[in-house]
Amino acid sequence: MLIAVFLDHSLSYDRTKDAQAIGACIQNMLLLIHAVGLGAVWLGEILKNKDRVRELAGAADDHELMAVVAFGFPAENLVKGKRKALEQAIICRK
């Protein structure tokens, strides 16, 4: 299953804040999908084909594709990710 996420330019008032809000919205989608036992992946590379996706989704010309979230039942044979440990990604100074 796919969720295409668009920015509606007719409702946009600040591109930076809209992009931040959309990112937070997608993160909440990912958390919910995980919470109900499904798997998901945030697809940004698909933005190379944003106009084609907009056409396929039947979205208006002033709707800009921001991401696609693909979700479904996760593979049973999970491949371990190469994600850094939290301590490697966050610097905390007192």
Ligand X SMILES: Cc1cc2nc3c(=O)[nH]c(=O)nc-3n(C[C@H](O)[C@H](O)[C@H](O)COP(=O)(O)O)c2cc1C
Q: Does 2 bind ligand X (CB under 6 A)?
A: no
Quote the tokens at residue 6. 């668009």
Q: Does 43 bind ligand X (CB under 6 A)?
A: yes
Q: Which stretch binds ligand X (CB under 6 A): 9-17, 35-43, 50-58, 84-92?
A: 35-43
| Residue with smaller CB distance to ligand X, 25 or 41 | 41
CA dihedral 1, 21, 65, 43 (to 10 degrees): -50
Read off φ and ψ for residue 40, nearest 5 degrees: -150, 160
Q: Does 38 bind ligand X (CB under 6 A)?
A: no
Residue of the chain from 83, 84, 93, 94 that contacts ligand X (CB under 6 A)? 83
Residue of the chain from 14, 45, 61, 87 that contacts ligand X (CB under 6 A)? 45
State the distance between the two ends of the chain, measured CA to CA, in whole angstroms.
45
Q: How far apart are CA 31 and CA 81, in angstroms?
A: 17
Interacting residues with ligand X (CB under 6 A): 41-45, 81, 83
